[in-house]
């Protein structure tokens, strides 16, 4: 049976939720990120399409965004509101398919291979149902695999509904920038540029042997397959998250070990709450420090068994923190729990 995969991506999700709360801002360039103050450190989480025309994009420093568009409205991130909106959207997706894999708060994959219905018609109805219930707009992509479904959902944003088949790859996929492909980040794109590869078509037409001269054999095969629209990744319906973490960038570099210890505990309390909400236990604790010169170091400690016990996790965080050199000016602090497992009753704790 041929696979049919749907990818649903909410358009400018955080910003769209904010516009529902601030309808007077509709039509204005709006940027959501950090604490909403572009004079402070922080990055753009999302921006409305009116802001994107100025070159503003996710991950950009807020200070850069305000230089590009001084008249933009800046709002702080409100994850409580976004999680609530996401839950309502995902309820609709789960009604379409039980084979459902969320990716963050604003996108998900669904396997429709066993649905005896027109996938395009299902996508159109799903978009209408989401908008009627939440007022939010989704773009939907449909394809024979996750790769093409994801590309399809991006092709006609915002409010898109696009179906790509294997036959569409040469005409519709190959002209796209190579960065469009899953797994091609800035560093990979730079290395591909040394081979004069700028589009997906350039990559598809590159002899595999030449790719293997720049990348490992496995990576070269993966890139070559992706350029031809091939992807065998399943929709994972029972996936356990690999890690849960939180980071903070200080407005002024921190030199106080006491304050770092306090902030690390605050972060752990937040991360521990999310661990409990998901009924998970953690085996490994990691503390990350980024210094003034942007060098980054991590220290980790693995526990004997996965646990939810806050005291054990707090002790591990403290040990990891003080394994760092704390005499240097710290720009960023992060706490992460990994090695996650479904929590057993005797592992749960306060």
Span 29-85, pLDDT tens digits:
999 998 889 988 888 989 999 999 999 998 899 999 999 999 999 999 998 899 899
The one catalytic residue in 18, 50, 107, 263 is 107
pLDDT less than 50: residues of the chain: 345-350
Residue from 39, 42, 17 nearest 30 by CA:
17
pLDDT of residue 88: 93
Q: What topology does CATH give the domain 243-347? A: Dna Ligase; domain 1 (3.30.1490)
Is 106 marked within a binding site? Answer: yes
Superfamily (CATH H level) for 169-227: 5' to 3' exonuclease, C-terminal subdomain (1.10.150.20)
Is 9 marked within a binding site? Answer: yes
pLDDT of residue 178: 97
pLDDT of residue 345: 44
The domain defined by 1-163 carries CATH number 3.90.1150.10: no
* Beta carbons of 108 and 102 less than 8 angstroms apart: yes
Residue from 208, 212, 290, 216 nearest 249 by CA:
290
pLDDT of residue 34: 86
pLDDT of residue 115: 80
pLDDT of residue 346: 38
pLDDT of residue 104: 79
* Beta carbons of 30 and 77 less than 8 angstroms apart: no
pLDDT of residue 238: 61
pTM for the model: 0.70
Domain ranges of the chain: 1-163, 169-227, 243-347
pLDDT of residue 239: 57
Tell me if residue 107 is catalytic: yes
pLDDT of residue 205: 97
């Amino acid at each position: 049976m041929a696979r049919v995969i749907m990818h649903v991506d909410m358009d400018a999700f955080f910003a769209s939720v904010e516009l529902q709360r601030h309808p007077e801002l509709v039509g204005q360039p709006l940027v959501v990120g950090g604490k909403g103050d572009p004079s402070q450190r922080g990055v753009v989480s999302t921006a409305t399409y009116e802001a994107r025309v100025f070159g503003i994009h996710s991950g950009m420093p807020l200070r850069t965004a305000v230089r590009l568009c001084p008249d933009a409205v800046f709002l702080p991130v409100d994850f409580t509101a976004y999680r609530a909106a996401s839950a309502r959207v995902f309820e609709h997706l789960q009604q379409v398919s039980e084979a459902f894999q969320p990716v963050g708060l604003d996108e998900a994959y669904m396997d429709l291979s066993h649905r005896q219905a027109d996938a395009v018609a299902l996508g159109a109805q799903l978009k209408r149902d989401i908008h009627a219930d939440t007022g939010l707009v989704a773009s939907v992509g449909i394809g024979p695999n996750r790769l093409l479904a994801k590309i399809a959902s991006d092709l006609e944003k915002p409010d898109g509904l696009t179906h790509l088949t294997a036959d569409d790859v040469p005409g519709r996929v190959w002209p796209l920038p190579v960065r469009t492909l899953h797994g091609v980040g800035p560093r990979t794109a730079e290395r591909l540029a040394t081979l004069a590869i700028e589009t997906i078509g350039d990559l598809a037409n590159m002899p595999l042997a030449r790719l293997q001269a720049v990348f490992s054999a496995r990576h070269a095969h993966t890139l070559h397959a992706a350029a031809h629209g091939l992807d065998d990744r399943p929709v994972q319906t029972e996936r356990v998250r690999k890690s849960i973490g939180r980071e903070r960038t200080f407005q002024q570099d921190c030199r106080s070990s006491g304050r770092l210890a306090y902030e690390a505990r605050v972060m752990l309390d937040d991360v521990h709450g999310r661990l409990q909400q998901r009924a998970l236990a953690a085996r490994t604790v990691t503390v990350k420090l980024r210094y003034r010169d942007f060098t980054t170091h991590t220290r980790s400690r693995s526990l004997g068994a996965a646990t939810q016990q806050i005291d054990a996790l707090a002790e591990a965080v403290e040990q990891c923190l003080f394994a760092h050199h704390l005499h240097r000016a710290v720009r960023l602090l992060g706490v992460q729990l990994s090695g996650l497992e479904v929590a057993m009753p005797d592992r749960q704790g306060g």
